[in-house]
Structure 1
Amino acid sequence: MKNLPQIETERLILNAITCSDIPQIVEYLQDKVYSDFTSNIPYPYRKEDAEYWLQLAEEAFVKRQGFTFAIRNKDKKLIGAIGLHDEGSDKAEMGYWIAIPYWNQGYVTEAAKAILDFGFRELKFNKIFATYFPHNPASGKVLEKIGLKKEAILIQHLKKDGQYYDIPLFSIFRNEYI
């Protein structure tokens, strides 16, 4: 795979994030909710943060360790991002964010289904997993909708703003999916 493929769903186009997406990414991620709901999106979010994230995504793809896609509507407008990060042992972690104007419309569920398919059929992962903060139950609902099941609660797994969080771990296996 020389380039990140383009994946199309009923309402979405998943493809590579580009430098021209940076202003939109910075605008979307200004809301503190993204920092509150994730372990790796800083607040405030700056242009330099987006440039660094894009650089990391490109480097991970070159090494075949990360596959980060823009989530775009059919008008090709960026509305979020989703990806798989190869954790070794034929497993990958899925992560995503979606711009607030597009919440509760099924876009993440639609994108995540496509990414599961890509991960199992194209990348041949055996396991795809995801975690989320308990104060973001909508993310857990997305995982359940696409077939992931709760595997564990990781006790005091993440520390954020001086507080430890028990983190739900959801997963699905290739033989359950295909």
Structure 2
Amino acid sequence: MEKFPIIETERLILSQLEEKDVPFIVEYLQHRIYSDLTSNIPYPYTENDAISWLKMSKEAFDNHSGYTFGIRNKEGHIIGAIGLHDREDDKAELGYWIGMAYWNKGYVTEAAKAIVDFGFKKMEFHKIFATHFLHNPASGRIMEKIGMEQEAILKHEIKKDGEYFDIVRYSIFKD
């Protein structure tokens, strides 16, 4: 795919991250809860973190190894992000976050359904999986709402800030 796709849902526009998004990303991810609930968001979250993440996201697209979409409202304002990253063997990993003001409104579920559809239909993945920390069951509920099923609990799978964490792995298959 030469041009980054734009996906529209009923309430959202999913499109490539842009430099103008950086201040909003930094503002959203300033809350320690994002670091506590994810394996790869640092605390404190800095402008350099956001710039590096945008660069990494663009490189993944250029290398055909991943798509990181900004989750935007219909006015085009970023409210979160969602990504699908090729893990080879016809499978991809789904990941997401959304600004706290937008929690519990169904936005991530709506975006994730569209991204899974994109992954199966456009990218022709056979399997899409996602993980969450045991202490973040809300993320698991999103995974279930989009049709994923729990595959396993991986013991001490993630080391973060010197501590080992168990994660739950969910997956969905094409067809």
Range class of TM-score, shorter chain = over 0.9
**Where do residues 84-163 of structure 1 align in structure 2 (5 Å cutoff)?**
84-163=84-163
Aligned to 1:2: 2
Distance 1:49 1:159 in 2: 19
Aligned to 1:25: 25
Q: Secondary structure at the match of 1:41?
A: coil
Q: Secondary structure at the match of 1:97?
A: strand
Q: Secondary structure at the match of 1:138?
A: helix
Q: Secondary structure at the match of 1:39?
A: coil
Distance 2:143 2:4 in 1: 24
Unaligned 5+ runs, structure 1: none
Q: Secondary structure at the match of 2:116?
A: helix
Could you tell me which amino acid in structure 1 is paired with residue 121 of structure 2? R
**Where do residues 44-123 of structure 1 align in structure 2 (5 Å cutoff)?**
44-123=44-123
Q: How many residues align?
A: 175
Aligned to 1:39: 39
Distance 2:20 2:3 in 1: 18
Q: CA RMSD in A?
A: 0.7
Calculate the TM-score normalised by the size of structure 1.
0.97
Q: Secondary structure at the match of 1:139?
A: helix
Q: Any runs of at least 4 consecutive aligned residues in structure 1 with deviations exceeding 4 A, and if so which?
A: none
Distance 1:157 1:39 in 2: 10
Q: Secondary structure at the match of 1:120?
A: helix
Distance 1:164 1:59 in 2: 29
Percent identity at matched positions?
61
